Amino acid sequence: MSVPSSGDVPRGNAAGFTKYLKQDLTSGLLVFLIALPLCLGISIASGYPPIAGIFTAIIGSILTTFISNSELTIKGPAAGLIVIVFGCISDFGGPGNPDAYKAALAVGVAAAVLQVLFGLFRAGILGEFFPTAAVHGMLAAIGVIILVKQIPFALGVINPETGRAPSGPPLEMVRDIPHYVLEANPAIAAIGIVSLLIMFLWPHLKAKAGPLKVIPAPMIVLLVSVPMGMTFDLLHQHSYELANHKYQLGEQYLVKMPDRVFGMFDEVTFPDFGALTRPVAWKWVLMFFIIGSLESLLSAKAVDLLDPWKRKTSMDRDVIAVGTANLCASLVGGLPMISEIVRSRANIDNGARTRFADMWHGIFLLLCVALIPTVLHRIPLAALAAMLVYTGYRLAHPNEFLHVYRIGKEQLAIFMTTLVVVLVEDLLIGVAAGIILKMIIHMSNGVPLKSLFKPYLEVEEVNADTSMIIAKQSAVFSNWIPFRRQIEQIGLVQRRNLIIDVSDTQLVDHSVMEKLEEMGRDFEQEGLKFEVRGLDSLQPLSENVLATRKRGMAQVRRVTVMANQSLQYWLLDEFEKCGITGYTISPCTGAGRRNITNDTVSENEHVRIEVIATEAVCNAIIDFLRRDIMPSHHVTACVEAVDVVRVGDFAPAADQEQKSDGHH
């Protein structure tokens, strides 16, 4: 994707509509190819009629284009909300029950009203409260739940009495996977397995696919699975026998769609607001509102980071846009929607310039469902289930666990606690458990209880255009919102350069480390300077540059090398290449074991080189000595752990530059 110069920033206005029509139309078409099967699959997995997801994507894409200023996000139903929506449907009577569907629509309307109010009262910043590890743990748990709940659909396991795939608590369904495999319908399972293989393999194969590489994996799945379904004659009810076992095939394995052109308008369904008189409804209103708003805010922020022109989304305005679109969608039978990260990333990769790409993807969906619904009816459910199994796997990818572990063991504990409690209980309890554990960890690390929710800040003027905010006691996720407001007010509103001094804090947690880095980018875009001081006086809990920092002595390594004086300059030169920040040299004399045992004691001229360095630099030095020095020279080297006050003084220059780049 070629990016215009910084002076040519695309804008979603009337001029941008015509100027970037070709790029936005092309991207809208390609995103439509991804969105069509995913909207159908997400809707079915949520317990809604298949067309409900299409209603949502059409309404969301067209309405939000003219309300939000987020230029590259795609609005629509998301896999992350499947668990919540299905839970709501289940509490009101279960999938396939028209009354449950109408009750869930009423819940969606109430949650949408809260979202609009949330944005109008400029509360979008509340999305900053949730700790990163807990949010990622929640998303990983959602991925596990989606994955296990779609396995029966992908294998064609349907209860003959209800006509639906089995469902239940996630951990029970994990235990029943061998049973689902034994009960699989071979023809349907073949469609599901082939579809799943395409989802996993196509990203690796499309580089060799020539002109076909622009076709996204979900559309390749449809191009293969629909003919497979026609080969198995799924449009007609019949049976077949395999290995002395009779299996049924028919339309129950296909997507249910209108049977005529413009039949989609017959599927419009209105909410039953009487359901809101039941107390259980308000539990789900809060779930729709909190989780939907949080996911949407996180996605919009992530897309801003990916935007080649670094345009900033107004989070309050975006929440109002999503809430308004959710309100309209729920009033006619649609699913809840968010700013969706996967489709948004595809939108960027396909060369979109403005928010009109989102609108075009919705218009293509409208034309497709209105004009060719009978073609969509031929899509096998197993193919859609395979796409969602892949989506669930991506949300709970093993790399997520490794990434969190590298940031810090305490982050992994929060991540795993959230994940497990979500699987055992539900989303809200799981996220609450992650937040509570993080607070307990903070207090065990010396954070005073009074500073958990209130930051203690002092403001000083450094010069005419620069201010300093001195943080006391702690800078943690739970007191970040007032901290951020202070940063924005002094820096971005008053247009002043800013220095943040955290040297007097007991703890700066990972969430705040991430958000300080993000603030640095915001200041840079505004042409202002942003510097974080005092981090090197705190001990990082891992090697990650954004790891939690705690007051206390940091542990590094002291390397002592005794060598012949002739090796001095070679050793120093190589040690500097390894990343040392200083050294001490002492001339000395001595004898080695070889001289003593041979009774030829003689004192040779040696040097003693002492280096204090990080573990990584120490390892590099030892590797060099073993590889290049010890095979042909007699040297003595020893390593010991030592505690230092300022670990940053011993970090390699490259590391310092990286940290500086992240916080200026």
Statement: residue 6 has pLDDT above 70 = no
Average pLDDT, the chain: 90
Mean pLDDT is lowest, of 73-87, 131-145, 198-212, 562-576, for 198-212
> Residue 260, SS3?
coil
Give the tens place of pLDDT for each residue, 483-537. Answer: 999 999 999 999 999 999 999 999 999 999 999 998 998 899 889 999 999 888 8
Per-residue CA distances from 585 to 389, 398, 565, 576 (Å): 61, 47, 11, 14
Residue 133's pLDDT is 93
Residue 427's pLDDT is 86
Residue 122's pLDDT is 81
Q: Report CA torsion sign: 207, 212, 216, 219.
A: negative
Strands 466-475 and 497-508: parallel
160 CB neighbour count, 10 Å cutoff: 7
Statement: residue 663 has pLDDT above 50 = no
Give the tens place of pLDDT for each residue, 54-65. Answer: 999 999 999 999
- Range 448-461 burial, b when 16+ CB lie within 10 A, else e: eeebbeebbbeeee
Give residue 659's pLDDT band: very low, low, confident or very high (50, 70, 90): very low
* Residue 58, C-beta contacts closer than 8 angstroms, at least 6 positions apart: 362, 363, 365, 366, 369
Give residue 453's pLDDT band: very low, low, confident or very high (50, 70, 90): very high
**Cα 586–590–591 angle (5° rounding)?**
145
**Could you tell me the two tokens for 622?**
């030892």
Give the tens place of pLDDT for each residue, 634-651. Answer: 889 999 998 887 777 787
**Could you tell me the two tokens for 454?**
């209130």
* Residue 132, C-beta contacts closer than 8 angstroms, at least 6 positions apart: 411, 477, 510, 511, 514
Give the tens place of pLDDT for each residue, 544-593. Answer: 989 999 988 777 899 999 988 889 999 999 999 999 989 999 988 877 67
Give residue 326's pLDDT band: very low, low, confident or very high (50, 70, 90): very high
Residue 658's pLDDT is 47
Give the tens place of pLDDT for each residue, 593-604. Answer: 766 666 555 567
The model carries a pTM of 0.83
Statement: residue 7 has pLDDT above 70 = no
**Could you tell me the two tokens for 193?**
């397995």
Rounded Cα distance between 57 and 260, Å, is: 21
Q: Is-contact 472 504, C-beta < 8 A?
A: yes
- Mean pLDDT over 418-445 rounds to 93
Helices and strands of the chain, counted as H and E runs:
25, 14
Rounded Cα distance between 233 and 280, Å, is: 43
Statement: residue 473 has pLDDT above 60 = yes
Rounded Cα distance between 136 and 414, Å, is: 10
Q: DSSP E strands: which ranges in 442-591?
A: 456-463, 466-475, 497-508, 530-533, 538-540, 549-551, 554-564, 584-590
Give the tens place of pLDDT for each residue, 158-209. Answer: 876 566 788 888 999 999 999 999 999 999 999 999 999 999 999 888 778 7
Statement: residue 344 has pLDDT above 60 = yes
* Residue 84, C-beta contacts closer than 8 angstroms, at least 6 positions apart: 284, 287, 288, 291, 292, 336, 427
Query: With pLDDT > 90 as the criterion, what percentage of the chain qualifies?
Result: 72
Residue 211's pLDDT is 81
Domains of the chain (ranges, CATH numbers): 32-395 (no CATH), 399-447 (no CATH), 450-550 (3.30.750.24), 553-644 (3.30.70.120)
